[in-house]
Amino acid sequence: MPSSTNGGSNPELLPDTARVPFSLSMLGWALNEEASIEGYIERAGTLLSGLTSDYELILLDDGSTDRTWAIATQCQRTRPWLKVYRNDRNRGSGFNTKRAISLATKDYVFWQTVDWAYDIRYLARALNDLQVVDVLQGVRVDTTTARGMVAHRSDNAYKGLVSVVNYRLVRTLFRLPLDDYQNVTVYPRALIQSVRLETESAFTNPECLLKTWWRGAVFKQVPVPFVKRQQGRGKGTRPRVILASIRDIVYWWVQWMVLGRRADRGRGRVER
pLDDT tens profile 20-39: 999 999 999 999 999 999 99
Find which of 156-160, 172-176, 232-236 is predicted with most confidence, using mean pLDDT.
172-176
- Answer yes or no: is 124 within a domain: yes
Domain of residue 209, residue span:
7-271
pLDDT given at position 234 = 52
pLDDT given at position 152 = 47
- Answer yes or no: is 230 within a domain: yes
Compute the distance between CA of residue 123 and CA of residue 20 in angstroms, rounded to an integer: 12
Beta strands in 122-188, from DSSP E residues, in sequence order: 135-139, 185-188
CA distances to 63, 87, 182, 257 from 90, rounded to whole Å, are 4, 7, 21, 31
- Answer yes or no: is 1 within a domain: no
pLDDT given at position 229 = 53
| pLDDT range class, residue 182, cuts 50, 70, 90 | confident
One-letter amino acid for residue 128 of the chain:
N
Residue 3 has pLDDT above 70, yes or no: no
Find which of 56-70, 149-163, 170-184 is predicted with most confidence, using mean pLDDT.
56-70
pLDDT given at position 245 = 87
Compute the distance between CA of residue 267 and CA of residue 177 in angstroms, rounded to an integer: 11
- Answer yes or no: is 2 within a domain: no
Q: pLDDT tens digits, residue range 224-264?
A: 998 875 555 555 556 888 888 899 999 999 999 999 999 99
Find, among 106, 140, 138, the residue nearest to 123 by Cα: 138
Find, among 166, 199, 161, the residue nearest to 182 by Cα: 166
Q: Using DSSP, state whether 124 is helix, strand or coil.
A: helix
- Answer yes or no: is 254 within a domain: yes
Summary mean pLDDT of the chain: 91
Residue 191 has pLDDT above 70, yes or no: yes
Beta strands in the chain, from DSSP E residues, in sequence order: 24-30, 55-61, 82-86, 108-111, 135-139, 185-188, 218-223, 269-271
Compute the distance between CA of residue 54 and CA of residue 242 in angstroms, rounded to an integer: 37
Find, among 108, 71, 80, 84, the residue nearest to 28 by Cα: 84
| pLDDT range class, residue 163, cuts 50, 70, 90 | confident
Residue 5 has pLDDT above 80, yes or no: no
Residue 36, domain CATH:
3.90.550.10
Residue 85: strand pairing partners: 60
Number of domains comprising the chain:
1
